Amino acid sequence: MDTAKGVWRTGLIAVLMVALVALVCHAQWLPKMRPKGQKKAGPPPGSPAGKARKAGFTAAKSQKSGPLSTAKVTVQGLRVVREGYGGDEWGNTELKPLNAHEKGTTLAFLVVMPNGGLIDLDEDASKVNAFTDNTGKNLLEKRQFGEPGFGDFLEISEDGKACMIDIEGGGIPSKGAMGIKASGTLAFKTATQKKDFMQKDVPFIVGSKINAGSVSFEIAEVGKPEWGDAQLEINLKTQQDISAVAEIKFLDATGQEIESNLSSWGSMGFGNRMTYQQSYTLAEKVNGGTILVSIWTDMKTQTIPFNINTGLGL
């Protein structure tokens, strides 16, 4: 009996350890593939910001710089909603005010940098210090979906000169409140200069290597996409820091660019031992070609402090 209990305990511990590892990996696997309109950054693919986002990675390391003294911050929107009506055990609301899926307050503001070069917002280095109404009530209360703070609707303009940012909290202003206040610091990754690395005659097969200066990729998967009209899907992976990757293109044997789109991307791992993956869908089915990787060469972090005090009249 003691032996049976020991085996049972050992088996239970093993199951719990596997579940814990799976949970951590799931948390670390962060595909930034969101529905249209809910993309973390959603500029057109041809823009400087769009090219950085198309590469599929948020900048992690860069040369540091000081505050952006020329940046301008203006409030562009304010939404306050209470609970809806009805629902189910999964938290889905039957009748939603303003089609909002959760109670709370959202403040949208625009950051304009005349010199351009906005690539992405470094959320780890950015911070919301306070989000309150004018009576001092904290609006950064727990949300039903997501964490309070910067929202998921960050967008950067095609010219790289402007960024729209949301602050979201689960709290709503007190009755009689006349305004909203928000303060904190934004840390932007900025760059304007790139260097291209071109590798010709790459077989589009599993295991093929692509060297792009400080970053080396390997083709992890190749095949027909599970959905859509694309003819080929190529998954690239790397264990190196890819924060400076601006864009990746695919060329055919004649040197003509093959129409491609980033279909998904993400990261998985622990601490500094990370694996980054990105999948591209191609409009043509080809056996090989040239892969062009563009790298930002002057990426740096620039900070913008913000202090917003707004009423209903924007």
From first to last of the 314 residues of the chain, give the pLDDT tens digit.
444 444 444 444 444 444 444 433 433 333 333 333 333 433 334 444 443 333 333 333 344 455 555 889 999 999 999 988 887 877 777 898 998 888 999 999 999 999 899 998 998 899 999 999 999 999 999 998 889 999 987 899 999 999 999 999 999 999 999 999 999 999 999 999 999 999 999 999 999 999 998 899 999 999 999 999 999 999 999 998 787 889 999 999 999 999 999 998 888 888 778 899 999 999 999 999 999 999 999 999 999 999 999 998 87
- Domain boundaries along the sequence of the chain: 48-190+300-311, 194-296
β-pairing, 63-67 with 300-311? parallel
Q: Is 118 helix (H, G, I), strand (E, B) or coil?
A: strand
Q: What span, in angstroms and rounded, lies between the C-alpha atoms of 58 and 243? A: 6
Domain 48-190+300-311 class in CATH: mainly beta
Closest CA to 235 of 245, 224, 251: 224
Q: Is 21 helix (H, G, I), strand (E, B) or coil?
A: helix
Cβ contacts of 178 within 8 Å, gap of 6 or more: 134, 311, 312
Q: What span, in angstroms and rounded, lies between the C-alpha atoms of 131 and 194? A: 38
